[in-house]
Amino acid sequence: MTSDDRFERLLVDVLVDVAPTREPDRLVPEILRAARRERRRPRWLALIKEPPMRMQSVVAVGSPVARLTFVLLITLLTAVLAAGAVVTGAALLEASPPPPPPTPFTSTYNWSDRSDPGSITEYEDGTVVTVGSGWLFDSLEASDPRFAGPLVLTTTDISYPGADHPDVAGGFGVSAYRIETDEGAWQELPRAQASWDRDSGDYLPSDNIQFWTFIGEGAYEGLTAVVRETWWPDGGAEATIRFDGFIVEGDLPDAPEPWRP
């Protein structure tokens, strides 16, 4: 196998003739123009971001110390944030303990006086509306001092003439209890029920046991009492009532979704 030395020498001569012997005149201005358009980064960012470049074992550009310090700071900050998140989560769990169980109680009251006859309005058709009539019951005994205050029953009653409204026993009433002590009060949620006999005007409860809900006020704010009211608990002590129930801290559980057929 032979080689043609003349071809190699010819190729070298051609390359020498074609290649420029110096840089173009526009090279330096173009470099300066491009450098002016680029936003200069701060020196500290270059020390951290760019890897160090060495020339003969000497650092020419960058700083290995600054770069290592930055990495360590980022690692330490991440660890501190993670530890803070764990501590905060644990504190939130500890700050939200389950509510205490309901507190049972029982209390007894005896009728004392009609505190207010109310405002009575009679209409031409015989309908009678009594607004704001009230009865006072004295506290006899209570297992919980929060239910040891006087008991007041305030009502608004509507009675009808004759037998035109047999389904409501001659009338109905909207009433609510209220208990007040030196520290706070309990206000029952108003309720409506058939309440009057159209012939005698006497109270006609459908049963001697009813259930009510009381909302705490004052020092008892945030408390809810669910009460079972029993009339004549001793089987003959007229105008004596007893409250048996539970005091619940916070809101009562949400009602279930209504059933639909």
| Mean pLDDT of all residues belonging to the chain | 77
232: closest CA among 207, 257, 201? 207
Which residue segment(s) compose the domain that 242 sits in?
103-249
Q: Which pLDDT score, from 0 to 100, does residue 198 have?
A: 47
Task: Check pLDDT > 60 for residue 197.
Answer: no
Instruction: Classify residue 257: in a domain, yes or no.
Output: no
Instruction: Classify residue 229: in a domain, yes or no.
Output: yes
Q: Which pLDDT score, from 0 to 100, does residue 187 have?
A: 94
Domain count, the chain: 2
CATH of the domain at 217: 2.40.350
Q: How many CA atoms lie within 13 A of 200 on its CB side?
A: 3
pLDDT band at 51, cuts 50/70/90?
A: low
Domain check: are 120 and 69 in the same one?
no
pLDDT mean over 154-170: 69
Domain check: are 113 and 37 in the same one?
no
pLDDT digits (tens, 9 = 90+) for 113-158: 877 888 989 888 878 888 888 889 999 999 999 999 999 999 888 8
Domain check: are 175 and 208 in the same one?
yes
188: closest CA among 211, 158, 161, 162? 211
Domain check: are 45 and 133 in the same one?
no
Domain check: are 113 and 240 in the same one?
yes
Task: Check pLDDT > 80 for residue 20.
Answer: no
Domain check: are 238 and 134 in the same one?
yes
Domain check: are 108 and 44 in the same one?
no
Q: What is the pTM of this model?
A: 0.57
